[in-house]
A and B are shown apart, each in its own frame.
Chain A
């Protein structure tokens, strides 16, 4: 690999190699305040490579590789190299993470307690987490929350926040002084732009938090809320976790502990202002 770099996100270290300089340079720039992998040894390797040697120069397209891969993944144009790198790191987590139970949820922290927001793509969990970050919460992550089976605590994975389509405009307005990646148009998921978590979130990256409230947000509906019972939480969380099965009995214990110990609500919201207000209210009531 001609170009490479290393970084650590939360407890997970990555080595990223690339046939092109641009994606690595972008990673170095955007992740410049992040630490290096512990002991200089990464947990996972990621490779951005040209599938055929001419693809390095002729309509350059980036194939994703690494310790863990899925077959037949479609390549991305070099202009979306940063997205490829982020997807590749996600893939290592999804397929290879074994120490922590992976929850497909965003997480923010206040007073040592974690708020988890989970749901399908597009439901708004990443945007909500980013908004809460601008309102004094510490961002733990926008896509993955890590549950430690040994302690029941939530560990953060504060990668670059991935904002899509309309949410980009919203956050460009809300995150004053935010550091951004390039605007990426025409990706498989529409237009994407990455926002670097704020200094506070990066600095506190290694501090775990006790899970205190779980929300299932749905954007674009009239305001409503209902209690979600442990059984529904359990089923939805296992469906959203890529490594629940790998963890075996300790995963079972961790997840049953979580759903029995943490209150959960499904909230529908028509706009972000309502969402924030609902979140703050529920937090003060239940957390």
Chain B
């Protein structure tokens, strides 16, 4: 129930003025669990609320501000490391939003640095980053192989001194998924920032968020992705944008995902819309949190985890992968 409370509070900030202590407690717990507490802090700033809530949200805002600074610095250091190669470097996700000054960046919590580079230059990128002080997080031969050949990114690198991770992608979905976006087109469509780094155009960012939301995993962080999408629509929505968005989605084979993401975003954070039956299951899953911000509906969660993996790998590979992982003692969450 706290998931629904969080969605409502973001959609209609004034509604928090009616919350009692236990409502605030549940809201803050859910916001933290969904990585949306910075966003919430922005949305409700200045509204009437108990002092304790104001304090928690002020702290969240300060944390996010410092996080933003650190994220931009990571991008800058990656730029310095890669500038000699001359290859295009496209920022993705949270770092892209803040680097481009978008409303989706307001209050956003940012984790690792995600960048997109041309596939044929990825080894060069890897070498340049390692020369500049990044190193592999976990040397595990099987995982490494899998990542390189099948996933859409290098195995994660972490900077030796700064202790921050960078994920270097060469496309936006794993290579073995049923959907294969056009990585070259994505990179070609990039917009340059002042410092020489690039970002995707807004329709590209939205398509990426939608791809990430459904096809790339098990819906974890789903609410945040949908909020990102809502912000992009708010900032860029127009007839022209809708045409560009449709064209971009079609080019990458993600029309169905983008349309679903738009419906879910409108339902949760916008004016509302008609949902399909499948949409409703997604909504249930996305809002499944209790008063402690903990995921409820565990069986649905496991089903989504399996589905995430199924999408990512052909069945034979999935069996082999799970067998090897199981022998190493790994259990999926839930």
Interface residues of A (CB under 8 A from B): 1, 13, 15, 17, 37-43, 45, 47, 65, 67, 98-99, 246-248
Q: Is A99 a contact of B59 with CB atoms below 8 Å?
A: yes
- Choose among B29, B50, B53 the residue that contacts A67 (Cβ–Cβ < 8 A): B29
Given A40-B21, A40-B50, A47-B292, 15 more pairs with CB closer than 8 A: A1-B292, A13-B52, A15-B25, A38-B52, A39-B24, A39-B53, A41-B21, A41-B24, A41-B50, A43-B52, A43-B55, A67-B33, A98-B63, A246-B63, A247-B66
What residues of chain B lie closer than 8 Å to A246, measured between beta carbons? 63, 66
Q: Is B293 a contact of A45 with CB atoms below 8 Å?
A: yes
What residues of chain A lie closer than 8 Å to B292, measured between beta carbons? 1, 17, 45, 47
Asked if B62 is at the interface of the complex by the 8 Å CB criterion, the answer is: yes
Asked if B28 is at the interface of the complex by the 8 Å CB criterion, the answer is: yes
Q: Is B69 a contact of A248 with CB atoms below 8 Å?
A: yes
Closest Cβ–Cβ distance, residue B33 to chain A (whole Å) = 8
Q: Is A41 a contact of B66 with CB atoms below 8 Å?
A: no
Closest Cβ–Cβ distance, residue A127 to chain B (whole Å) = 32
Q: Is A41 a contact of B52 with CB atoms below 8 Å?
A: yes
Asked if B322 is at the interface of the complex by the 8 Å CB criterion, the answer is: no
Alpha-carbon distance A37/B55, docked complex (angstroms): 12
Alpha-carbon distance A246/B294, docked complex (angstroms): 25
B residues 40-65 touching A (CB-CB < 8 Å) = 50-53, 55-56, 59-60, 62-63
Asked if B32 is at the interface of the complex by the 8 Å CB criterion, the answer is: yes
Closest Cβ–Cβ distance, residue A238 to chain B (whole Å) = 14
22 pairs, CB–CB < 8 Å, chain A vs chain B: A1-B292, A15-B25, A37-B52, A38-B50, A39-B21, A40-B25, A40-B50, A40-B52, A41-B25, A41-B28, A42-B25, A43-B56, A45-B25, A45-B292, A65-B294, A98-B59, A98-B60, A98-B62, A98-B63, A99-B55, A99-B59, A246-B66
What residues of chain B lie closer than 8 Å to A45, measured between beta carbons? 25, 29, 292-293
Q: Which residue of A lies closest to B67 (CB)?
A: A246
Q: Which residue of B lies closest to A47 (CB)?
A: B292
What residues of chain B lie closer than 8 Å to A99, measured between beta carbons? 55, 59
What residues of chain B lie closer than 8 Å to A39, measured between beta carbons? 21, 24, 50-53
What residues of chain A lie closer than 8 Å to B59, measured between beta carbons? 98-99
Alpha-carbon distance A15/B25, docked complex (angstroms): 9
Asked if B22 is at the interface of the complex by the 8 Å CB criterion, the answer is: yes
Closest Cβ–Cβ distance, residue A13 to chain B (whole Å) = 7
What residues of chain A lie closer than 8 Å to B60, measured between beta carbons? 98
8 smallest beta-carbon distances between A and B, as pairs: A40-B21, A39-B50, A39-B52, A41-B52, A98-B59, A38-B52, A248-B66, A67-B32
A-B interface pairs (CB < 8 A), number: 53
What residues of chain B lie closer than 8 Å to A43, measured between beta carbons? 52, 55-56
Alpha-carbon distance A197/B95, docked complex (angstroms): 46
What residues of chain B lie closer than 8 Å to A248, measured between beta carbons? 66, 69
What residues of chain A lie closer than 8 Å to B55, measured between beta carbons? 43, 99
What residues of chain A lie closer than 8 Å to B294, measured between beta carbons? 47, 65
What residues of chain B lie closer than 8 Å to A38, measured between beta carbons? 50-52
B residues 274-324 touching A (CB-CB < 8 Å) = 292-294
Closest Cβ–Cβ distance, residue B31 to chain A (whole Å) = 10
B residues 243-259 touching A (CB-CB < 8 Å) = none
What residues of chain B lie closer than 8 Å to A42, measured between beta carbons? 25
Closest Cβ–Cβ distance, residue B163 to chain A (whole Å) = 10
Q: Which residue of A lies closest to B31 (CB)?
A: A67
Alpha-carbon distance A131/B26, docked complex (angstroms): 40
Q: Which residue of A lies closest to B61 (CB)?
A: A98
What residues of chain A lie closer than 8 Å to B29, measured between beta carbons? 45, 67
What residues of chain A lie closer than 8 Å to B53, measured between beta carbons? 39, 41
What residues of chain B lie closer than 8 Å to A37, measured between beta carbons? 52
Alpha-carbon distance A13/B56, docked complex (angstroms): 11
Q: Most chain-B Cβ atoms within 10 A of its Cβ — which of A1, A47, A248?
A: A248
Closest Cβ–Cβ distance, residue A100 to chain B (whole Å) = 10
Closest Cβ–Cβ distance, residue A173 to chain B (whole Å) = 40
Alpha-carbon distance A13/B66, docked complex (angstroms): 24
Q: Most chain-B Cβ atoms within 10 A of its Cβ — which of A1, A39, A42?
A: A39
Q: Most chain-B Cβ atoms within 10 A of its Cβ — which of A17, A43, A67?
A: A67
Q: Is A40 a contact of B22 with CB atoms below 8 Å?
A: yes
Q: Which residue of B lies closest to A68 (CB)?
A: B32
Q: Is B32 a contact of A41 with CB atoms below 8 Å?
A: no
Alpha-carbon distance A178/B33, docked complex (angstroms): 39
Alpha-carbon distance A13/B28, docked complex (angstroms): 13
What residues of chain A lie closer than 8 Å to B69, measured between beta carbons? 248
Closest Cβ–Cβ distance, residue A263 to chain B (whole Å) = 31
What residues of chain B lie closer than 8 Å to A1, measured between beta carbons? 292
Alpha-carbon distance A83/B50, docked complex (angstroms): 32
What residues of chain A lie closer than 8 Å to B66, measured between beta carbons? 246-248
Closest Cβ–Cβ distance, residue A164 to chain B (whole Å) = 30
Closest Cβ–Cβ distance, residue B258 to chain A (whole Å) = 33
Alpha-carbon distance A68/B127, docked complex (angstroms): 35
Q: Which residue of B lies closest to A247 (CB)?
A: B66
Closest Cβ–Cβ distance, residue B129 to chain A (whole Å) = 22
* A41 in contact with B56 given A15-B25, A247-B66 (CB within 8 Å): yes
Alpha-carbon distance A42/B53, docked complex (angstroms): 9
Closest Cβ–Cβ distance, residue A50 to chain B (whole Å) = 13
Q: Which residue of A lies closest to B294 (CB)?
A: A47
Q: Which residue of B lies closest to A6 (CB)?
A: B25
Q: Which residue of B lies closest to A42 (CB)?
A: B25
What residues of chain B lie closer than 8 Å to A41, measured between beta carbons? 21, 24-25, 28, 50, 52-53, 56
Alpha-carbon distance A67/B29, docked complex (angstroms): 7
What residues of chain A lie closer than 8 Å to B51, measured between beta carbons? 38-39
